[in-house]
């Protein structure tokens, strides 16, 4: 009996979800005769990292214990043990003609894995090591431990980048260093540290409207965070020598700050360096048909899901909408390939127009909007600020419960590769 592999590169938010979808809704519908099927994830860590809670974990392990941050991947697939494989390693390159991915495992072994269908879900790396699980859980825990001991004595902290990650991190760190402010206080009573958040734009949290950004500034001020606007971090240079040496942060407006701690929250880099250049767009994301999520430059049966895809605005909402689309099209293409019949209809991706963003500021307050409406601070706290969605979403993410059903969809005519799709579906 031959084995066909649905190969998934990356085993975090998008990769685990794609694997659950494949096991629940793709494999059961594939032709049975003489072939068995396997879903293989390649991921450098055997644990899943709840990155969303990174800002609180950065500030304190008492507030965000490591057991709430890391979860083993394999037990989440125990229900399909004989059809699931986790390869702990990194994809190093792809041979599109031979439909094979080359992998270096954590033990240094070189492997080649042929695929019947390939899903790319390798996400992104952050400039700060505080928000990326690159190797294994122990390494990131050690990074946090070292950071926490430096943070204890810090008198000046600079955070570059005033998107949600920068704002959340500033709030968490400020509360740990300067304490919770009094009920009516507009600044902390006895601040121990000067914390500065650098915003490249004239307002922080670019996705949110002006009034919400202003509210965020007020809440940060209560915790002892100053925001500098219209300034970019040009360079951040740590003096050589001791672990606790200062970092000189040079800003584009000519100002310079000497910081005990500098955190770079200025953006992300897609993990796509191992892919052929022709598969990438001008921001190094995997270029795909934004309706079908097929990677058309890659040849047959290659798809992208998650933040490394050109279709995505980033975040788990876009991803939740994309998984069923990419995986339905994968199933359609694979059935046609294996049975030699014409492909069925396509499923189309449509970005959620309303969206939402929730930004906790310390353990008690926050700002945000959902479905176009600003949310009161208490709601942001209730939904996200209590535990950064651990109790609300982790179980679903691990078990793939979100994808118990494949969901309703409107069949769309198949469009040849390279042809533009203009209608929405």
Q: Which residues bind ligand FAD (CB under 6 A)?
A: 9-15, 42-44, 51-52, 54-55, 90-91, 121-124, 126, 131, 133, 165, 271, 274, 306-308, 314-317
Measured from the CB atom, the residue of 83 and 90 that comes closer to ligand FAD is: 90
**Torsion angle, CA of 297/298/303/307, rounded to 10 degrees?**
-70
Pairing of strands 261-264, 156-160: parallel
> Shortest gap between Cβ of 284 and ligand FAD (angstroms)?
13
User: Residues of 228-252 as b/e, b for ≥16 C-beta within 10 angstroms?
Assistant: beebebeebeeeeeeeeebbebebe
> Shortest gap between Cβ of 73 and ligand FAD (angstroms)?
9
Nearest to 159 by CA among 120, 188, 198, 129: 198
- Supply the angle between the helices 164-178 and 137-152 in degrees, to the nearest 10: 50
Measured from the CB atom, the residue of 185 and 382 that comes closer to ligand FAD is: 382
Q: Which helix H or strand E contains 40, and what residues bound it? A: strand 35-43
d(CA 179, CA 194): 13
d(CA 412, CA 252): 49
d(CA 234, CA 198): 11
> Shortest gap between Cβ of 11 and ligand FAD (angstroms)?
6
> Shortest gap between Cβ of 129 and ligand FAD (angstroms)?
11
> Shortest gap between Cβ of 388 and ligand FAD (angstroms)?
7
Nearest to 170 by CA among 140, 124, 137, 205: 205
Measured from the CB atom, the residue of 127 and 425 that comes closer to ligand FAD is: 127
Q: What share of the chain is helix, strand, coil (3-state, %, to 5)?
A: 30, 25, 40
d(CA 178, CA 153): 12
Pairing of strands 156-160, 194-198: parallel
> Shortest gap between Cβ of 10 and ligand FAD (angstroms)?
3
Nearest to 260 by CA among 144, 129, 146, 150: 150
Contact 347, 329 (CB under 8 A): yes
Residue with the two structure tokens 């390869």? 87
Nearest to 63 by CA among 386, 377, 375, 350: 386
Nearest to 404 by CA among 112, 79, 25, 46: 25
> Shortest gap between Cβ of 230 and ligand FAD (angstroms)?
24
> Shortest gap between Cβ of 370 and ligand FAD (angstroms)?
12
Measured from the CB atom, the residue of 285 and 294 that comes closer to ligand FAD is: 285
> Shortest gap between Cβ of 265 and ligand FAD (angstroms)?
8
Measured from the CB atom, the residue of 73 and 177 that comes closer to ligand FAD is: 73
Which residues are 50's β-sheet partners?
A: none
d(CA 67, CA 80): 25
Measured from the CB atom, the residue of 30 and 327 that comes closer to ligand FAD is: 327
Measured from the CB atom, the residue of 31 and 127 that comes closer to ligand FAD is: 127
> Shortest gap between Cβ of 20 and ligand FAD (angstroms)?
13
Contact 117, 303 (CB under 8 A): yes
d(CA 274, CA 92): 5
> Shortest gap between Cβ of 338 and ligand FAD (angstroms)?
26
Q: Which residues contact 386 (CB under 8 A, 6 or more apart)?
A: none
């Amino acid at each position: 009996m031959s084995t066909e592999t649905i190969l998934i590169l990356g085993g975090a938010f998008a990769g685990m979800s794609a694997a659950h979808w494949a096991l629940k809704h793709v494999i059961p519908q594939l032709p049975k005769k003489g072939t068995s099927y396997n879903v293989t994830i390649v991921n450098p860590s055997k644990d899943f990292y709840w990155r969303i809670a990174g800002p609180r974990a950065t500030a304190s392990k008492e507030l965000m214990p490591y057991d709430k941050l890391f979860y083993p991947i394999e037990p989440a697939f125990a229900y399909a043990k004989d059809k699931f494989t986790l390869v702990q390693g990194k994809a190093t390159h792809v041979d599109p003609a031979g439909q094979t991915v080359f992998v270096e495992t954590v033990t240094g072994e070189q492997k080649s894995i042929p695929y019947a269908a390939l899903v790319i879900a390798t996400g992104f790396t952050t400039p700060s090591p505080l928000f990326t699980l690159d190797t294994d859980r122990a390494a990131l825990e050690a990074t946090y431990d070292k950071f926490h001991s430096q943070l204890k004595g810090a008198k000046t902290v600079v955070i570059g980048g005033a998107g949600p990650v920068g704002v959340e991190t500033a709030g968490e760190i400020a509360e740990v260093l300067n304490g919770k402010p009094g009920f009516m206080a507009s600044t902390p009573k006895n601040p121990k540290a000067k914390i500065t958040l650098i915003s490249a734009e004239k307002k922080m949290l670019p996705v949110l409207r002006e009034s919400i950004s202003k509210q965020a500034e007020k809440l940060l001020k209560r915790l002892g965070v100053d925001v500098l606007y219209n300034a970019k971090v040009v360079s951040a240079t740590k003096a050589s020598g001791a672990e606790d040496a200062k970092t000189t942060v040079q800003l584009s407006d000519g100002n310079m700050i000497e910081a005990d701690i500098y955190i770079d929250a200025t953006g992300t880099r897609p993990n796509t360096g191992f892919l052929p250049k022709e598969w990438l767009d001008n921001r190094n994301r995997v270029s795909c048909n934004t309706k079908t999520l097929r990677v058309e430059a890659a040849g047959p049966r290659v798809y992208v899901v998650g933040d490394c895809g050109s279709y995505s605005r980033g975040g788990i909402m876009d991803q939740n909408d994309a998984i069923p689309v990419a995986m339905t099209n994968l199933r359609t293409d694979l059935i046609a390939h294996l049975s030699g019949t014409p492909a069925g209809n396509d499923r189309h991706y449509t970005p959620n127009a309303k969206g939402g963003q929730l930004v906790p500021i310390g353990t008690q307050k926050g700002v945000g909007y959902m479905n176009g409406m600003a949310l009161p601070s208490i709601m942001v706290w209730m939904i996200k600020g209590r535990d950064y969605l651990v109790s609300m979403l982790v179980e679903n993410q691990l078990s793939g419960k979100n994808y118990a059903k494949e969901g309703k969809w409107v069949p769309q005519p198949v469009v040849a590769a390279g042809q533009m799709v203009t209608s929405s579906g």
